[in-house]
Structure 1
Amino acid sequence: MAGSSAVYTPCRPHHAHGHQQRRWRRSALAHGLLPTATTGRRGVLARASLAAAAAAGRTAAEEAVYEVVLRQAALQGSGTREAAAGKGRRRWREEEVDDAELGWGLLGDAYERCGEVCAEYAKTFYLGTQLMTPERRKAVWAIYVWCRRTDELVDGPNSSYITPKALDRWEKRLEDLFEGRPYDMYDAALSDTASKFPIDIQPFRDMIEGMRLDLWKSRYKSFDELYLYCYYVAGTVGLMTVPVMGIAPDSKASAETVYNAALALGIANQLTNILRDVGEDARRGRIYLPLDELAQAGLTEEDIFRGKVTDKWRRFMKGQIQRARLFFDEAEEGVMHLDSASRWPVLASLWLYRQILDAIEANDYNNFTKRAYVGKAKKLLSLPVAYARAAVSS
């Protein structure tokens, strides 16, 4: 899988006419193509209405994802998942859970270990979480660790042994922890987080659906298909974390707007991963680029596997990079509506990831044999600038 973005990855008001035009241009339908309705057995697209999507000016994939956004935004407004669902669920506090119940120690130890994992694998993001309140900080760590463990199932050292049934078991564990029945210390941390914040289980299920896709799917016919995949593996993270990071009390933006920004950043980050890793993915027999757009550019799958930078490739890449930047632009405005203590790590992540696109251009669009990265000096320079920008009231 083109490295998934397992950090907070957030605006798009869907009803604004100008905004719909921008979305239309970057979708597969902008090229006169029909929306594709391919999905896994549990994917959100199974619930999408093509007629409703067309009426709203959205593709089928966008409409399906939009339903999840609306659901989570409603939970944010209600304050608790129980109130939105009309029923209660078990809430448990640290003092209610003993060593025998968890088998791994108390919740404090579980959260501490989640923080250690985050510090090891997401240093910049971990640094940013230090600005958050302790409760939010711990919750973000727990979500990060679950996302990382999920990604490792299909992209880690034991990925060759993973089967659809293994992912089914992982999803059952997810359902159990949301019902207050954690399996291990990491599950316990997320279970506690899910009991304290208005987090919906659907984005977590959808991330697992993205892992299922990676078990059998290595081509994407259109951007509509690719958009749904990007939502599954990265856009979901934003929907998971906004309830924890919080919306600024003085923000005039709706919850829907902020969640759409979260989704936009996730899509942008994953598109950036894909554009950075074209050569690496090709060597694994995978192409995470819209095949219809490749054909329109006069390129074939063989051109990808050949890995030669041509004028056709440069023109194609310019368009793909422009699309990713549109998503980053949409996300940046929405970040400013997050709670002030949460803005910096998100904004820093956004700026650092966006600079990878600059690095691809600096490499003359050679993402076959050259890996685009942001140097340490640029990273260090970006952090105080992001901090200053984040300090500006929305």
Structure 2
Amino acid sequence: MSPNMDHSDLQACVAMMQSGSKTFFAASRLLPLRVRAHAIALYAFCRVADDLIDERPIEWAPEAVSQLKHRLDAIYRGEPGNAIEDQALSLVVQEVDLPRLWLDGLIEGFAWDAQGFVCETPSDLHDYAVRVAGTVGAMMCWIMGQRDAVTLSRACELGVAMQLTNIARDIGEDARKGRVYVPREWFKQEGLDVEAWLREPVFTPQVARLTERLLDHADTLYAQAQAGIASLPPDCRAAIHAANLIYAEIGHQLRREGLDSVNHRTVVSTSRKMVLLLKAWTHSAWICMEDNPAATLAEIEPMITPCVGAGVGKGRYVRPQRSLVQRVNWVMNLIDKREHLRRGRPFSGVG
């Protein structure tokens, strides 16, 4: 069927973003409407794909991956199914010629996770993070209209940095599920038996050093991605700068808490997020491009070169359908209105 969305569909997509990632939702408020519509649609599909694979028993993972690939086949034929997220993504694919490679890579990463991904080396970690998070960064960059290899690679690196932060924050939570995303090579260097530690995950100075090592690596990538923000359209920079700042702040807060992510989960307060959103809004115009850009991660290149080298979508940017933009704005205003009414505050609306 042809892609079509009504207010209730869009409201469902926005709700997925609001409940699934408060940081992404907050940063999305700084996106221009022409990009926000696509970002919401993209997030909705990615969230559903993750849940479809993650919430099933491991033996069902291949079937879930097969279902998602069939859904992508239909979406890229312009014949999406009835699912709200499929309808939404089909509009994005039609309007911006979104390369399928990144969605296939994302699903592959989810499948690795469901099948018990084993991270032996830093390269394994990069391969995984590029798929489950770097691809999202590349897709966001693409829908903003920036399609050169360097900027796409920096966007991918930002996604990887965010994933490294997530891993550092969730070491204890993951361990209690029998999962470890820190390279096992690093455990050995600290003299730790990873299997023994997984049976009884405790916070030790060695684990603190592993956490700091992840955060240091993430900070390097945040810095490199920061310079790439200068290559984005001016009206998109504040939102991505905000996401960069807020995710990096998780690492800063974790350091202030002694690097212990085994016994508790670090969060950034709403008030702190608001400060960082304001900082992003006021400082984004002053971000400078790199004079001598650092080399990107080797694991990123296979996800970027085929899309740029083949000329997919080269020089093509289509403004989202006016009706879609208006409907997204309507939904965001509705959410704001409900939140203000809940807090007993007047609501003036947003443009």
Question: Common fold, TM-score beyond 0.5?
Answer: yes
User: How far 1:360 sits from its partner (Å)?
Assistant: 1.8
Unaligned segments of structure 1, at least 5 residues: 1-100, 248-253
Q: 1:215 to 1:118 in 2, by over 3 A?
A: closer
**Number of the residue aligned with 2:313:** none
What secondary structure does 2:178 align onto? coil
**Number of the residue aligned with 1:96:** none
**Number of the residue aligned with 1:329:** 223
User: How far 1:123 sits from its partner (Å)?
Assistant: 4.3
1:188 paired with 2:82, answer no
- Matched letter for residue 261 of structure 1: R
Q: 1:330 to 1:162 in 2, by over 3 A?
A: same
What secondary structure does 1:391 align onto? helix
Q: Distance in 1 between matches of 2:30 and 2:181?
A: 36
- Matched letter for residue 271 of structure 1: L
Native 8 Å contact 1:307 1:368 kept in 2: yes
User: How far 1:119 sits from its partner (Å)?
Assistant: 3.7
**Number of the residue aligned with 2:344:** none
Q: Distance in 2 between matches of 1:391 and 1:303?
A: 46
Native 8 Å contact 1:136 1:245 kept in 2: yes
- Indicate which of 156, 159, 166 corresponds to 1:263: 156
Q: How does 1:190-339 map to 2 (within 5 A)?
A: 190-247=89-146, 255-301=148-194, 302-339=196-233
Q: Distance in 2 between matches of 1:285 and 1:368?
A: 13
1:169 paired with 2:67, answer yes
User: How far 1:177 sits from its partner (Å)?
Assistant: 0.2
Count of aligned pairs between the two proteins: 286
**Number of the residue aligned with 2:318:** none
User: How far 1:319 sits from its partner (Å)?
Assistant: 2.1
Q: Distance in 2 between matches of 1:337 and 1:179?
A: 32
Runs of 4+ off more than 6 Å = none
**Number of the residue aligned with 1:348:** 242
Q: Distance in 1 between matches of 2:27 and 2:164?
A: 23
Listed one character per residue, the Cα deviations across residues 6-62 of structure 1 (whole Å, up to 9, x for unaligned) are xxxxxxxxxxxxxxxxxxxxxxxxxxxxxxxxxxxxxxxxxxxxxxxxxxxxxxxxx
What secondary structure does 1:309 align onto? coil
Unaligned segments of structure 2, at least 5 residues: 289-351
Native 8 Å contact 1:221 1:292 kept in 2: yes
- Matched letter for residue 226 of structure 2: E
Q: 1:363 to 1:124 in 2, by over 3 A?
A: closer
TM-score by length of 1: 0.67
TM-score by length of 2: 0.75
Native 8 Å contact 1:198 1:243 kept in 2: no
**Number of the residue aligned with 1:361:** 255
Q: How does 1:4-23 map to 2 (within 5 A)?
A: none
Native 8 Å contact 1:153 1:162 kept in 2: no
User: How far 1:281 sits from its partner (Å)?
Assistant: 0.7
1:117 paired with 2:16, answer yes
- Matched letter for residue 164 of structure 2: L
Q: Distance in 1 between matches of 2:79 and 2:215?
A: 43
Q: Distance in 1 between matches of 2:18 and 2:210?
A: 37
Q: 1:163 to 1:296 in 2, by over 3 A?
A: same
Q: Distance in 1 between matches of 2:20 and 2:185?
A: 36
**Number of the residue aligned with 1:77:** none
User: How far 1:151 sits from its partner (Å)?
Assistant: 1.2
What secondary structure does 2:98 align onto? coil
- Matched letter for residue 385 of structure 1: K
User: How far 1:298 sits from its partner (Å)?
Assistant: 1.4
What secondary structure does 2:219 align onto? helix
More deviation in 213-222 or 164-173?
213-222
Q: Distance in 1 between matches of 2:81 and 2:66?
A: 15
Superposition CA RMSD, Å: 2.3
Q: 1:360 to 1:274 in 2, by over 3 A?
A: same
User: How far 1:271 sits from its partner (Å)?
Assistant: 0.7
User: How far 1:159 sits from its partner (Å)?
Assistant: 5.5
Q: Distance in 1 between matches of 2:32 and 2:260?
A: 42
User: How far 1:345 sits from its partner (Å)?
Assistant: 1.7
User: How far 1:289 sits from its partner (Å)?
Assistant: 0.9
Listed one character per residue, the Cα deviations across residues 159-216 of structure 1 (whole Å, up to 9, x for unaligned) are 6674302211111111210110101232122111111113100000011101111122
